[in-house]
Amino acid sequence: MRCKKCQEKAVIGLPRHNAAFCKGCFNEYVHDQVARAIKAQRMFGQKDRILVAVSGGKDSLALWDILLKLGYQADALHVDLGIPGYSATSREKVERFADAVAASRQAKLIIHVVKQEEGAGIQELANLVNRPTCSTCGTIKRYQFNRAAVERSYDVMATGHNLDDEAARLLGNVLHWQVDYLEKQGPVLPASVEGFARKVKPLYRLAEREVAAYAVLNRIDYIVEECPMAKGSKMLLYKEVLNHLESESPGTKQAFYWGFLDRQTETRPTAGSMAEKDQASLHPCTVCGQPTTADVCTYCKMMARAQAASPR
Ligand code: SF4
Ligand SMILES: [Zn+2]
Ligand SMILES: [Zn+2]
């Protein structure tokens, strides 16, 4: 197998593009896909300050690496969830990357420790509020990322969702006809009101195996295991189904998700009209001041329940 661009020995084949690349040309391809995503979706500019949500997995660390190499000012936030046997390793990977790569580019790592700030690890908190671990986790991560981005004046928050993640989410939303979610699903979620950070997904043009290959080829040391709480999740099932289709018919995932985005641009509400709609229903939480549709935001309600239920 030869590189499509320079005829050197290829290290990876990309059936969906009918191509193969050597390491150098593959890195160029990855950087180019991210640069295109940023430009096509007007995600941010060279002067913007970006906060990357890093878990310690391949996608978020690769994203941080790529943004820094493309010359962006990108700091990162890691949420230490306090999951025994998983969170300590994840944090270690993030810290190691920050010391080895990010520090030399003047990028900062912020760490939020759930055990310290919320008073208990994620599983214990979920038990206290009687909610599934992943939904408790989602509430905390969304809240803390948004808060960090707004309080520290970042222009935009970036996450490492790749093509596989987005195609799987789309499949789930279509299977259950989650029309509200379908309307909002996309690589850019505009800053809807003051107090809500703009969110972007610069890896949406890259498949999961491409991001994994990028991380390996560039010696990014990431946590390989999935979070133990993800076991049996519907997202993993949808990914499996899509992988099966992809292996039979390369390009299926891309056609599915990008096709959705193309059609959505014709019908999707504009950033301005979404902001207006949100502005009408959102106001500051009476406890913490972050935007919410109720008097008290989900996070503050959850924390009050946890406090009431925790043994004194
Ligand atoms: S699998 Fe669940 S608990 Fe683990 S990081 Fe994802 S949302 Fe959080
Ligand atoms: Zn090449
Ligand atoms: Zn609140």
Does the Cβ of 259 fall within 6 Å of ligand 1? no
Q: What pLDDT, on a 0 to 100 scale, did the predictor assign at position 146?
A: 93
Quick one: pLDDT at residue 193?
A: 63
- Separation in Å, CA 88 to CA 51, 85, 219, 282: 22, 7, 20, 36
Question: How does pLDDT run along the chain (312 residues), one tens digit per residue?
Answer: 999 999 999 999 999 999 999 999 999 999 999 999 999 999 999 999 999 999 999 999 999 999 999 999 999 999 999 999 999 999 999 999 999 987 888 999 999 999 999 999 999 999 999 999 999 999 999 999 999 999 999 999 999 999 999 999 999 999 999 998 998 899 999 886 667 889 999 999 999 999 999 999 999 999 999 999 998 899 999 999 999 999 999 999 999 999 999 998 777 655 555 656 666 678 889 999 998 989 999 999 999 999 999 876
Which pLDDT tens digit goes with each residue over 106-155? 999 999 999 999 999 999 999 999 999 999 999 999 999 999 999 999 99
Task: Give the distance (Å) from ligand 1 centre to CA of residue 248.
Answer: 30
Q: Which atom of ligand 1 is nearest to the CA of 55?
A: 5
Exposure pattern of 222-235 as b/e (b: 16+ CB <10 Å)?
Answer: bbeeebebeeeeee
Residue 274 has a pLDDT of 60
DSSP conformation letters of 130-179: TS-HHHHHHHHHHHHHHHHHHHTT-SEEE----HHHHHHHHHHHHHTT-H
The span from the first CA to the last CA of the chain, in angstroms, equals: 65
The CA 19 to ligand 1 mean position distance, Å, reads 35
Residue of the CA atom closest to atom 7 of ligand 1: 134
Helix (H, G, I), strand (E, B) or coil at 113: strand
Q: For residue 102, give the DSSP letter.
A: I
For residue 133 and ligand 1, the question of a CB distance below 6 A is answered with: yes
pLDDT of 285: 93
* Ligand 1 neighbour 68 (Cβ under 6 A): no
Probe ligand 1: pick from 55, 122, 136, 161, max atoms within 8 Å of CB?
A: 122
DSSP state of 226: P
Ligand with the closest atom to the CA of 223: 1
**For residue 272, what pLDDT is reported?**
56
* Span 84-94, pLDDT tens digits: 999 999 999 99
**Amino acid identity of 84?**
P
Q: Please identify, by atom number, the ligand 1 atom nearest to the C-alpha of residue 233.
A: 1
Which residue's CA is minimally distant from atom 2 of ligand 1? Answer: 134
31 in Cβ contact with 21 (< 8 Å): no
Q: Which atom of ligand 1 is nearest to the CA of 138?
A: 7
Please tell me the pTM assigned to this model.
0.94
- Give distance in angstroms: CA of 13 to centre of ligand 1: 31
Spatial distance between the Cα atoms of 297 and 288, rounded to a whole number of angstroms: 8
Q: Residue 203 and residue 206: Cα distance in Å, rounded?
A: 5
Q: What contacts 180, CB < 8 A, 6 or more positions away?
A: none
The closest residue, in CA terms, to atom 5 on ligand 1 is: 227
| DSSP H or E stretch at residue 75 | strand 73-80
Query: Could you tell me if the CB of 137 is within 6 A of ligand 1?
Result: yes
Ligand lying closest to the C-alpha of residue 299: 3
Question: Is the distance from CB of 297 to CB of 282 less than 8 angstroms?
Answer: no
CB 134 less than 6 A from any atom of ligand 1:
yes
Alpha-carbon span 117 to 114, nearest angstrom = 5
| CB of residue 60 inside a 6 A radius of ligand 1 | no
Rg (CA), the chain: 20
Question: What confidence score (pLDDT) does residue 281 get?
Answer: 79
- Residue 268 has a pLDDT of 62
Our answer on whether the CB atom of 236 is closer than 6 Å to any ligand 1 atom is: no
Residue of minimum CA distance from atom 3 in ligand 1: 134
From 209, 207, 213, 202, select the one nearest 252 (Cα to Cα): 207
Output the pLDDT for position 275: 58
